[in-house]
C-alpha cells in the first residue's frame, strides 16, 4: 500500500550506500585518535598496526594459516588487477560474469591482457550463469557476490577440491558478510570500504599455497608495473604479507580498518557479522514480498545477496516505461529521499537495470532499514503522481 502521507520517523543513519558503506554503529572520529599520523609505515609503530590489520583479518574471516594476506594499493580493483596480471596466461581461463564488475574483469583479460585462450561464461543481471559449464582445468575468475546485480553464488560447492587451475575470486561485497569457502579459493580480494565500512583506496589480497606456487613458477609474457609485482628473483616477496606494503598506505585509513575489525571481533566475529547482514536483508525481502511496486532483481532466492540488495520496478505503469523512463523514475525516488535526508545513494549502479540498491551489510542497523521502508512507499507514491500528472 502506498500513501502520500509523509512518515513520522526517520532512520537514525541514512547511509545506505553500497560503497563506501556506513560506518560501524557508534563510530566517531575519536576512534582514530591513536592513528600513527606523521609516522612512517615502515617504523615499528606503523608496521605493527599493518601486521595487526592482517592478523585480525585472518582471525575474523577465518583464513587458513597457510594462506598469505597482503594489504595492496588501489582498493579491490588494484587487488584483482594484481592477480590477473601476475597469475593469468599460464593456461586457459574461464571468465564468469553476471554483472558490471565481473564484466569489467572480462574486458581486462580479453582487451588489455589480450589472452587468446579465454572462455566467457556469462548471464544477464538477475541470474547466475550455468556454473556447471566451468572448466576447472583452466584458471577461473569470478565474483562471489555481484555488487551491482544483487546475485551471489550460494556456496563453493560448484568448485572441485581437486582442480588444475586457480580460482580467482573478487569477494569485495561478500567478505565479512558471507561465508567464503577458502579451500575452494586460490585468490580472494576485497576492499575495506564495504561490509566493515572502512575507508577507500586500500585492497586486500589473499593467496593460497597453490597461488604462491604459480607466482614462483610462472613469469608472465608482459611487463609488470611496480605496484603489481609480487615476486622478486622468482620468489614471493614475503614482506608484502607481513605489513611491508608496496607503496605508502594511509595510516589514518589503517586505524579506521583496525577499529572496524575490533568492533567485528567484539560483537562475535564472522558469525555475528553474517547474522546482522542476513537480518537486514530479511527486512527488505519481507517488504518486497508485500509490495505492489517493487521486486528483487535477483530472481532466485537462493542466490540473492544479503549485502547489495538490488530492486526493480514491478508496478505495471513504471515497468511499461522504456529504460530511460525507468531510470528517470528511479532518479526521482532517489533524489526525493536524499533531499529528505532519509536515504543516501540508493540508486542502482550506472550500468545496471534501473531501480534501487540498498546496502544491508553488517554496519547497517536493522532499525534504520525498518524506518526506511515507509519512506520508500511514500517516495514511490509521490513519483507515481508526478508521472501521471505529466502523462
Rg (CA), the chain: 22
Question: What topology is assigned to 269-390 in CATH?
Answer: 3.90.1150
Contact 301, 171 (CB under 8 A): no
The pTM of the full predicted model, rounded to 2 decimals, is 0.97
Q: What is the CATH number of domain 31-265?
A: 3.40.640.10
Q: Do domains 31-265 and 269-390 have the same CATH topology?
A: no
Residue-range domain boundaries for the chain? 31-265, 269-390
The residue among 192, 184, 161, 168 whose CA lies nearest residue 74 is 192
User: What does the DSSP 8-state code read for residue 42?
Assistant: T
Reported as type and span, the H/E element at residue 71 is: strand 68-73
DSSP E strands, 144-290: 145-146, 151-152, 167-170, 187-191, 202-207, 231-232, 235-236
- Integer CA distances (angstroms), 229 to 158, 213, 253, 348, 384, in order: 31, 15, 23, 35, 53
pLDDT for residue 388: 87
pLDDT tens per residue across all 391 residues of the chain: 444 789 999 999 999 999 999 999 999 999 999 999 999 999 999 999 999 999 999 999 999 999 999 999 999 999 999 999 999 999 999 999 999 999 999 999 999 999 999 999 999 999 999 999 999 999 999 999 999 999 999 999 999 999 999 999 999 999 999 999 999 999 999 999 999 999 999 999 999 999 999 999 999 999 999 999 999 999 999 999 999 999 999 999 999 999 999 999 999 999 999 999 999 999 999 999 999 999 999 999 999 999 999 999 999 999 999 999 999 999 999 999 999 999 999 999 999 999 999 999 999 999 999 999 999 999 999 999 999 898 7
User: What does the DSSP 8-state code read for residue 347?
Assistant: B
Amino acid at each position: 500500500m502506498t500513501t502520500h502521507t509523509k512518515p513520522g520517523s526517520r532512520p537514525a543513519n541514512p547511509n545506505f550506500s553500497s560503497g563506501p558503506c556506513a560506518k560501524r554503529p557508534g563510530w566517531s572520529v575519536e576512534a582514530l585518535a591513536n592513528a600513527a599520523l606523521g609516522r612512517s609505515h615502515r617504523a615499528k609503530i606503523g608496521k605493527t598496526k599493518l601486521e595487526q590489520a592482517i592478523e585480525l583479518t585472518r582471525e575474523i574471516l577465518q583464513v587458513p594459516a597457510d594462506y598469505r594476506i597482503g594489504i595492496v594499493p588501489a582498493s579491490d580493483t588494484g587487488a584483482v588487477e594484481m592477480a590477473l596480471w601476475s597469475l593469468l596466461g599460464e593456461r586457459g581461463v574461464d571468465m564468469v560474469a553476471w554483472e558490471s564488475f565481473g564484466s569489467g574483469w572480462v574486458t581486462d583479460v580479453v582487451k588489455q591482457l589480450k589472452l587468446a585462450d579465454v572462455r566467457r561464461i556469462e548471464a544477464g543481471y538477475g541470474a547466475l550463469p550455468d556454473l556447471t559449464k566451468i572448466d576447472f582445468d583452466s584458471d577461473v575468475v569470478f565474483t562471489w557476490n555481484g555488487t551491482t546485480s544483487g546475485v551471489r553464488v550460494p556456496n563453493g560447492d560448484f568448485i572441485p577440491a581437486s582442480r588444475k587451475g586457480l580460482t580467482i575470486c573478487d569477494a569485495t561485497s561478500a567478505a565479512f558478510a558471507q561465508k567464503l569457502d577458502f579451500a575452494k579459493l586460490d585468490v580472494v580480494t576485497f576492499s575495506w570500504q564495504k561490509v566493515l565500512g572502512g575507508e577507500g583506496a586500500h585492497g586486500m589480497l589473499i593467496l593460497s599455497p597453490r597461488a604462491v606456487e604459480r607466482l614462483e613458477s610462472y613469469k608472465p609474457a608482459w611487463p609488470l608495473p611496480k605496484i603489481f609485482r609480487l615476486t622478486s628473483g622468482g620468489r614471493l616477496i614475503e614482506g608484502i604479507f607481513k605489513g611491508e606494503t608496496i607503496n605508502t598506505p594511509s595510516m589514518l585509513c589503517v586505524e579506521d580498518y583496525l577499529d572496524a575489525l575490533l568492533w567485528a571481533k567484539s560483537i562475535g566475529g564472522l558469525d555475528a557479522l553474517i547474522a546482522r547482514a542476513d537480518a537486514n536483508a530479511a527486512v527488505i525481502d519481507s517488504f518486497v514480498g508485500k509490495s505492489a511496486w517493487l521486486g528483487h532483481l535477483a530472481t532466485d532466492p537462493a542466490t540473492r545477496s544479503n549485502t547489495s540488495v538490488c530492486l526493480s520496478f514491478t508496478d505495471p505503469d513504471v515497468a511499461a516505461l522504456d529504460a530511460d523512463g525507468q531510470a528517470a523514475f528511479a532518479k526521482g525516488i532517489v533524489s526525493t529521499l536524499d533531499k529528505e535526508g532519509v536515504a543516501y545513494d540508493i540508486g542502482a549502479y550506472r550500468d545496471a537495470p534501473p531501480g534501487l540498491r540498498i546496502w544491508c551489510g553488517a554496519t547497517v542497523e536493522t532499525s534504520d532499514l525498518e524506518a526506511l521502508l515507509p519512506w520508500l512507499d511514500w517516495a514511490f507514491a509521490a513519483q507515481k503522481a508526478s508521472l501521471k500528472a505529466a502523462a
